[in-house]
């Protein structure tokens, strides 16, 4: 049956809104899926119209990850929840050194959410997936009553494959290793908070949300034996390094002066009472490698646009307490502990 015979009129994407029938499993839901999601995400696997995607697995070790997105506001400088859902999941796959291949997407929609805004988010998500070279191959849509959601929540699953000889993992940091970051810290979290609090600065602060698999491909091409890759999202650089230190049973010593930080982000953090080391990032990564590989890895990172401001920020040390410490700009040392409490809720 054609869409013309099944649906009496087109979805009103300009003035319409999500209603409970869009999650009922009937014609209204079928129309929403066909005219919005399937149209934007079209690819051979999705176009089959099944409740799952069947494909031949590629050679190599497979990687799978799942992520949920509840960011508020839904639209922010440098991105939105749609593009963020793609970038965040692609990056989790990439932190295994893997090439991302496929995504799934689940949407929780609130009754009354404008279809124009939903289309904007879906189109942004589709564009981000195309730019990342991944296909959204299956998905699901549910609707909750007005007041029981917050517009849109998205859950994604990512699948990828790891090239031979590549095996970064959080337990592989060793004393003497170098610690690198791919660029400035805290951009995403400050962009979200400044939008949420209606703050303005002389220089626009934009989220760093980006897909990092291209950067990672260049890195593992130059140094296949990268010990650890991790994206410092919630909890920021500080919490992520504490996670790795505990996984590997080591300590870390950072140099405050070496950590890249935009002046406007530092100023915003001071105004908001935030420590930039704990502020989320969505387009940056941490890499840990053998000291003798650090220069080669740094050069590979800086040769990619998303790693142009990469830096070596410290070293892994022996420490049975698994402390992360930092040499301050004033010559002293301080403990860089785990994030305590919720500094920035609903940041991704």
* pLDDT for res 6: 75
* pLDDT for res 202: 63
* pLDDT for res 156: 98
* pLDDT for res 1: 40
Q: Given the structure tokens 């090439």, which residue do they identify?
A: 99
* pLDDT for res 58: 87
Q: For 226-262, what is each residue's pLDDT tens digit?
A: 999 999 999 999 999 999 999 999 999 999 999 999 9
Report the alpha-carbon distance of residue 246 to residue 7 in Å, rounded.
56
CB 337 within 8 A of CB 224: no
Nearest Cα neighbor of 310 from 297, 293, 292 is: 297
Q: For 126-183, what is each residue's pLDDT tens digit?
A: 999 999 999 999 999 999 999 999 999 999 999 999 999 999 999 999 999 999 999 9
Q: Hey, which residues does 311 pair with through a beta bridge?
A: 181
3-class DSSP state for residue 334?
A: strand
CA-based angle 296:311:298, to the nearest 5? Answer: 10
Q: Which two tokens stand for residue 278?
A: 């704990």
Q: Which helix (H) or strand (E) holds 300?
A: helix 294-302
Angle, to 10 degrees, between the axis of helix 187-196 and the axis of helix 263-272? 50
Q: Which two tokens stand for residue 30?
A: 């079928």
User: What's the maximum distance between 2 C-alpha atoms anywhere in the chain?
Assistant: 75
Q: Hey, which residues does 156 pair with through a beta bridge?
A: 67, 105
The ranges of the chain with pLDDT < 50 are 1-2
Report the alpha-carbon distance of residue 149 to residue 42 in Å, rounded.
27
Nearest Cα neighbor of 313 from 146, 194, 182 is: 182
* pLDDT for res 3: 53
* pLDDT for res 150: 94
Nearest Cα neighbor of 241 from 260, 233, 232, 249 is: 232
- Give exposure, 164-187, as e/b (b: 16+ Cβ within 10 Å): eebbbbbebbbeebbbbbbbbbbb
Nearest Cα neighbor of 165 from 82, 224, 249 is: 224
Nearest Cα neighbor of 248 from 179, 172, 167, 317 is: 172
Q: Is 112 left (phi over 0), alpha (psi -120 to 50) or beta?
A: left
Residue 167 DSSP code:
-
3-class DSSP state for residue 182?
A: coil
Interacting residues of 114 by C-beta distance below 8 A, sequence separation 6+: 16, 17, 18
Start-to-end C-alpha separation, the chain: 40
């Amino acid at each position: 049956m054609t869409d013309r015979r099944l649906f009496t009129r087109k979805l009103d994407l300009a003035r319409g809104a999500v209603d409970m029938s869009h999650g009922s499993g009937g014609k209204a839901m079928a129309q929403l899926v066909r005219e919005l999601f399937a149209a934007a995400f079209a690819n051979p696997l999705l176009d089959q119209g099944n409740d799952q995607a069947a494909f031949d697995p590629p050679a190599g070790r497979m990687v799978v990850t799942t992520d949920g997105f509840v960011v508020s506001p839904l639209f922010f400088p440098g991105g939105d929840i749609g593009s963020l859902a793609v970038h965040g999941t692609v990056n989790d796959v990439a932190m295994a050194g893997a090439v991302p291949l496929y995504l799934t997407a689940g949407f929780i929609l609130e009754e009354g959410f404008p279809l124009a805004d939903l289309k904007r988010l879906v189109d942004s998500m589709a564009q981000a997936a195309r730019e990342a070279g991944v296909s959204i191959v299956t998905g699901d849509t549910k609707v909750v009553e007005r007041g029981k959601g917050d517009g849109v929540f998205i859950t994604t699953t990512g699948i990828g494959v790891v090239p031979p000889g590549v095996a970064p993992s959080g337990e592989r940091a060793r004393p003497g290793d170098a610690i690198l970051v791919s660029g400035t810290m805290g951009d995403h979290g400050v962009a979200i908070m400044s939008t949420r609090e209606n703050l303005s600065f002389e220089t626009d602060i934009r989220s760093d949300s980006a897909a990092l698999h291209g950067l990672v491909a260049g890195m593992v091409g130059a140094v296949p034996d990268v010990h650890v890759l991790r994206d410092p999202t919630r909890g920021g650089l500080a919490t992520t390094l504490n996670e790795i230190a505990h996984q590997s049973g080591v300590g870390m010593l950072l140099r405050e002066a070496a950590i890249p930080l935009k002046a406007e982000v530092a100023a915003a953090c001071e105004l908001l009472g935030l420590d930039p080391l704990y502020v989320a990032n969505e387009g940056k990564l941490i890499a840990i490698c053998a000291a003798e590989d650090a220069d080669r890895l740094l050069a590979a990172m800086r040769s990619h646009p998303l790693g142009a401001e990469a830096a070596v920020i410290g070293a892994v040390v022996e420490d049975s307490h698994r402390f992360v410490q930092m040499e301050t700009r004033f010559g002293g040392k301080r403990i860089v502990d785990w994030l305590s409490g919720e500094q920035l809720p609903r940041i991704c």
